Amino acid sequence: MQNARSAGFAALVLAVIALWADVAAAQVPRLVDHGGRVLSAPQVSPIYVGDYWATRPGAADALHTDAFLQTWLAGPSLSDVLAQYRVPRAAFASSDLVTGAAPAVFTEADAAALVQQERAAGRVFTDAQAVYVLYLPPGTVATFLGNSSDRKLGGYHSRYLDPATGLPVYFAVVVYSLGANGLDLTGDPQQNLSILSSRVLAGAFTNPDDGTAPAWFDTTHGEVGDVALSVSADATLRDVWTFQNGFAVALLWSNKLGRLDAGSATIGATATGEQTLALTPATQEALPGTTVTFTVTNAATSVDSLALTVSELLAGVTATLSATTLAPGASATLTVAVAADVATGQSVSVTVLGANALGISEVASATLSIVTALTAAAPAPAAADFTISVATASLDMPRGTVATFAVVTAPVGDAGVPLRVKVVGLNRRLKAYVSRTRTLAGDTIEVTIMAHRSARSRPYAFSVLVASKQSEQLVPVTVVLK
């Protein structure tokens, strides 16, 4: 028969075990439905804030972001992850540009006022499940609930009540994260935009009324998109995102799998998850009444055949594909015809979608400019008066180390041709040092590469540029970080 002392000891042990179990359970993320509304079929409308998005680099960033949103909203992050939280589908609704000088600071109230303005003007899609994503220009500091992007705020979602209807209007703000502003996860602003967009939209869909009528969240780790940052074990936060269908996306918490996930259905899968659908050349010109051709390719490393479609073009501009299905490694010709009455001075975005058997799409785009006269072809380059070569075009090196390779030059004709040497196209996490930036043809130059230990393990391509007064040449080099 158990005495009082042993019974007390057993009770103490059970209490300790129960406490340990509670602590352990609290450490494992688990999203709980607190009964609030979710957006079961959200419609996403990006709004690009400021004149930057009308510049050439800004337009490229916006085009990439629009393509990402269309792909991600139709992809496995929704069907495999967010569907667990009553969000089975979502769609891309419209894209809007609000020109003007870049604001130095952009508050939550500024965001709500801008959304209200664009809705009232009829420039954006309006629906009870619309989510407006405001993309800030480079350098603009966002503030929200006492935090700011100069203290690593990358984005957030919120809402306001429409003064006419009293109904909630949902919006999110994404910072142009680069350097000290925002959450610079990759050093690549386009990748940062897609990662942070997927993170804040996941929260906006599954917990849109947080603070008034919360839905899905974990009391310790936050919303579905917050968990990865909360549990990250990597100082560089490389473990909070991945590549999916050619885009960088946030990892989301899956209750079903008990781990971070981005969904299992992928297309164009390669070892690094890179884009496999391509449209070349990136830019072309056309006269009214003429046709031009682009080449559509599916990389040989793709694991899927892709069914091709072309997005709607400008009135009077039509596109025809030589093939509507591309096997891995295959290509097709896209012929674009411009009617004789199409006005000049316009640029047309030519976008091809490649869908796999699951209906998940990759997107590839190019630009066609309608002009009054074709740009004259560049003159043929002058004959080279020197040659360059490297002993090896690919170097393997561990992160945080240094590697050196030689660039050998030789004159063509007379010796003693003066040369200038520099490294171009190098990732910001690698540094290059050239033994001599000015030399003569016939000399050998040493190039030293130093890889920061925070750089990701993958290939990095760059070039050594050698130029004389008469010509210039590039020699490509690849560093493979281990």
Q: Check residue 361 and give its pLDDT.
A: 61
Tell me how far apart the alpha carbons of residues 390 and 162 are, in angstroms, rounded to a whole number.
64
Q: Check residue 274 and give its pLDDT.
A: 56
Number of other CB atoms surrounding residue 299 within 10 Å: 16
Residue type, 477: V
Q: Check residue 3 and give its pLDDT.
A: 44
Tokens 């009214």 map to which residue? 288
Number of other CB atoms surrounding residue 375 within 10 Å: 8
Number of other CB atoms surrounding residue 433 within 10 Å: 12
Contact 403/482 with Cβ under 8 angstroms? no
Q: What is the mean pLDDT of each run of 10 residues along the chain (482 residues)?
A: 41 40 58 95 96 92 91 91 94 93 97 97 92 98 96 97 95 97 94 97 97 93 95 88 85 92 62 68 93 90 81 88 90 95 90 70 82 80 81 82 88 82 83 86 88 78 87 86 83
Q: Check residue 271 and give its pLDDT.
A: 39
Whether pTM > 0.75 for this model: the answer is no
HSE-CB for 387 with a 13 A CA cutoff: 5
Q: Check residue 105 and give its pLDDT.
A: 98
- DSSP label at 382? P
Q: Check residue 382 and give its pLDDT.
A: 67
Burial 383-404 (b: 16+ CB within 10 A, else e): eebbebebeeeebebeeeeeee
